[in-house]
Amino acid sequence: MSSSNTNVHLGTGAPGTVHVSHDHHELGFLRKYIFSTDHKVIGIQFMITGLIMFLIGGLMAMAIRWQLAWPWTEMPIVGKLLFPATGKVISPEFYTMLFTMHGTIMIFFVIIPLLTGAFGNFLIPLMIGAPDMAFPKLNMFGYWAMVPAICLAITSFFVEGGGASSGWTAYPPLSTIASAAPGSGQGQTLWLMALTWSGLSSMMGAVNYVTTIVKMRAPGLTLMRMPLTIWSLLIAALLQLFALPVLTAASILQLMDRVIDTGFFTPTNLIVNQYNAEAAGAAAGGQPLLWQHLFWFYSHPAVYIMVLPAMGLASDILSVHARKPIFGYKPMVYSMSAIAGLGFIVWGHHMFASGMNPAMGMTFMVSTIMIALPSAVKVFNWLGTLWGSRIQLTAAMLNALGFVAMFIIGGLSGIWMAATPVDIYIHDTYIIVAHFHYVVFGGSVFAIFAGIYHWFPKMFGRMMNETLGKIHFVGSFIFTNGVFYLMHQLGLAGLMRRTADPYDYEAFARLQPINEIISYCAFGLFLWQGFFIFNFFHSMFWGKRAGRNPWKATSLEWEAPSPPGHGNFDHQLEVFRGPYEYASPEVEEDYLPQARNLNA
């Protein structure tokens, strides 16, 4: 199974069934750090890759903010380099590519790989007391499938017509008919292939996570003793398993529409930009709405793939740094399952204005309204966890608290969108942009920061600098709200998204100064990440050495050395209790590890 002589017996039966033999030979650099089958190395590979893509996606966001604050203005310094043909200004064509690729990169190459790829890989075996993943080679392929995906996505900018420009949602016919948009030439084909490769990566990961969690838990670690991080990763993996095939199939259909002239999404009598695909021999008779259904059948669950693991990480970090058991463990598990279950029947709420049968709109409205409930229950339980606790305001904790504060905003604004009549007004306006950035940036990204500060000692054996971490949090929190909060009001004024220059409209001309403020905050937010990048790489080599359990936490990963060697654990593990025994009266310290036998 694994390349070294690591022997793993699957099963959760009697104590001692997890047996690791440490007679492996030293691996060369290439096998150890590049083509590694070790889940920890793969997790760190996903993390570094995701952070680099985060930088690229962030740069695109900066260009978008430049255009929205000062449309058609020469970009200083980099303008000459990037846009020599258009006189140092962003062209409207390039603007459509920018927001398309910003969304694509942030979703498929940053948030999903960071949460499921990096944290999923690194934490699952460690937190369940397993020596590695169930399928280490598949795991390695899962990472390496990201490489063609990223190459294809980046290359697409340099082909004729440029990168995909029909939004990350790629609605046909804009995306399928080459004459509809400059990026709908080769760029869109490469985009679809990139998406399929990244889906393949997620799929291999998901199969691995589910198998590992179900089959390889340490003795005594029952399902209801698993940390919420593991629950959230299990549920997210199940969402990927069931929803991803639909997107993959849809992408292949769109690819066929483009490459071999099928007409799954092309209606008859379509003349786009004076080009009639049918007259040129392509098939037609298709239905653009079909793509929207198939796309959102995956991409709405994808939203939960992007937020459930963040909820799991935040729950664990809140409990550890508040020195108090998680409030309502079972309701937390049930509400995550409810979010995942309902998540499959709410996709139509992206299509209220699309021309879908309004009776279906009403059905999707009810399921969407009800999905607010489990999210609310989770917020109340986090607050219940904090009540009567002993909060330690570490960088990890601050980011987890920031996650809760901003997830509340993202969750509440969603209720307007669920209400169909109100959604008709706010659909495709900036309040939507505010909403999902509060969930995915204020929520997921802050949970990712919290997770990195919290588990960095386990990953690299060294602590991150706390002072720099706190400076990083304070600035990021202020700027994040500076960027995204006022977008609510812009949206209520009717300002539409995906628009290079809205100020020609009489109604929107007066909103330009607000967009300037937002852009200054965005530039500040971007530059402020320097504190994080410096801290991350500096601490990797020169940080204070961390012991096994620097946070005095209870879950199993802290039983292993920091960083854990090949095979993870150097002693037999048995689990005696749940993962949140903080402040337990049974022992003198304020934490009681899962693996401590009190009767021994």
Q: Which of 59, 256, 496, 540 binds other proteins (CB under 8 A)?
A: 496
Q: Which of 270, 307, 320, 525 binds other proteins (CB under 8 A)?
A: 270
Whole-number Cα distances in Å, 533 to 68, 195, 452, 468, 542: 27, 28, 12, 10, 14
Size of the site for other proteins (CB under 8 A): 115
271 near other proteins (CB under 8 A): yes
Beta carbons of 249 and 294 less than 8 angstroms apart: yes
486 near other proteins (CB under 8 A): yes
Nearest to 309 by CA among 26, 118, 75: 118
For 570, phi then psi, to 5°, come to -105, 5
Least spacing, CB of residue 59 vs other proteins, in Å: 21
Q: How many CB atoms lie within 10 A of CB 60?
A: 19
Distance, in Å, from the CA atom of 163 to the CA atom of 244, rounded to the nearest integer, reads 23
Site for other proteins in 350-369 (CB under 8 A): 353-355, 358-359, 361-362, 365-366, 369
180 near other proteins (CB under 8 A): yes
Least spacing, CB of residue 376 vs other proteins, in Å: 5
Write the binding mask 559 to 598 for other proteins: x where contact by CB under 8 A, - elsewhere.
---------------------x-xxxx----x--------
Stretch that binds other proteins, among 195-203, 248-256, 472-480, 515-523 (CB under 8 A): 472-480
Write the binding mask 17 to 56 for other proteins: x where contact by CB under 8 A, - elsewhere.
----------------------------------------
Q: CB nearer to other proteins: give 54 or 296.
A: 296
Distance, in Å, from the CA atom of 304 to the CA atom of 310, rounded to the nearest integer, reads 9
For 220, phi then psi, to 5°, come to 90, -15
Q: Which of 327, 449, 455, 532 binds other proteins (CB under 8 A)?
A: 327
98 near other proteins (CB under 8 A): no
Q: CB nearer to other proteins: give 50 or 491.
A: 491
58 near other proteins (CB under 8 A): no
Least spacing, CB of residue 179 vs other proteins, in Å: 9
264 near other proteins (CB under 8 A): no
For 513, phi then psi, to 5°, come to -60, -35
Sequence-separated (6 or more) residues with CB below 8 Å from residue 565: none
502 near other proteins (CB under 8 A): yes
Q: CB nearer to other proteins: give 13 or 585.
A: 585
Residue 4: alpha-carbon gap to chain centroid: 32
Query: Taking the CA of residue 241 as centre, how many other CA atoms within 13 Å lie in the half-sphere pointing to its CB?
Result: 14
Least spacing, CB of residue 209 vs other proteins, in Å: 27
Nearest to 123 by CA among 46, 32, 24: 46
Distance, in Å, from the CA atom of 212 to the CA atom of 226, rounded to the nearest integer, reads 13
Nearest to 458 by CA among 121, 217, 220, 201: 121
For 276, phi then psi, to 5°, come to -105, 105
Stretch that binds other proteins, among 75-83, 134-142, 242-250, 347-355 (CB under 8 A): 347-355
Stretch that binds other proteins, among 109-117, 134-142, 262-270, 296-304 (CB under 8 A): 262-270
Return the structure tokens found at 38: 């070790």
Sequence-separated (6 or more) residues with CB below 8 Å from residue 367: 342, 345, 346
Stretch that binds other proteins, among 8-16, 221-229, 295-303, 324-332 (CB under 8 A): 324-332
Q: CB nearer to other proteins: give 96 or 519.
A: 96
Using DSSP, how many helices (H) and how many strands (E) does the chain show? 19, 2
Q: CB nearer to other proteins: give 458 or 488.
A: 488
329 near other proteins (CB under 8 A): yes
Least spacing, CB of residue 548 vs other proteins, in Å: 22
For 429, phi then psi, to 5°, come to -105, 180
Determine the residue type at 81. Answer: L
Q: CB nearer to other proteins: give 89 or 134.
A: 89
Q: CB nearer to other proteins: give 142 or 173.
A: 173
Q: CB nearer to other proteins: give 219 or 494.
A: 494
Q: How many CB atoms lie within 10 A of CB 17?
A: 15
328 near other proteins (CB under 8 A): yes
**C-alpha torsion sign, points 93, 95, 100, 102:** positive
Return the structure tokens found at 379: 């917020």
Sequence-separated (6 or more) residues with CB below 8 Å from residue 29: none
Distance, in Å, from the CA atom of 141 to the CA atom of 135, rounded to the nearest integer, reads 10
326 near other proteins (CB under 8 A): yes
Nearest to 39 by CA among 211, 200, 181: 211
Stretch that binds other proteins, among 18-26, 35-43, 210-218, 505-513 (CB under 8 A): 505-513
Write the binding mask 364 to 393 for other proteins: x where contact by CB under 8 A, - elsewhere.
-xx--xx-xx--xx-xxx-xx-xxxxxxxx
471 near other proteins (CB under 8 A): no
Least spacing, CB of residue 541 vs other proteins, in Å: 26
Site for other proteins in 138-157 (CB under 8 A): none
Write the binding mask 411 to 440 for other proteins: x where contact by CB under 8 A, - elsewhere.
-xx-xx--xxxx-xx-xxx-----------
Residue 408: alpha-carbon gap to chain centroid: 18
Least spacing, CB of residue 595 vs other proteins, in Å: 19
Q: At what angle do helices 430-437 and 395-418 cross, to 10 degrees?
A: 140
Beta carbons of 36 and 29 less than 8 angstroms apart: no
Q: CB nearer to other proteins: give 49 or 465.
A: 465
408 near other proteins (CB under 8 A): yes
Q: CB nearer to other proteins: give 334 or 537.
A: 334
160 near other proteins (CB under 8 A): no
Distance, in Å, from the CA atom of 342 to the CA atom of 339, rounded to the nearest integer, reads 5
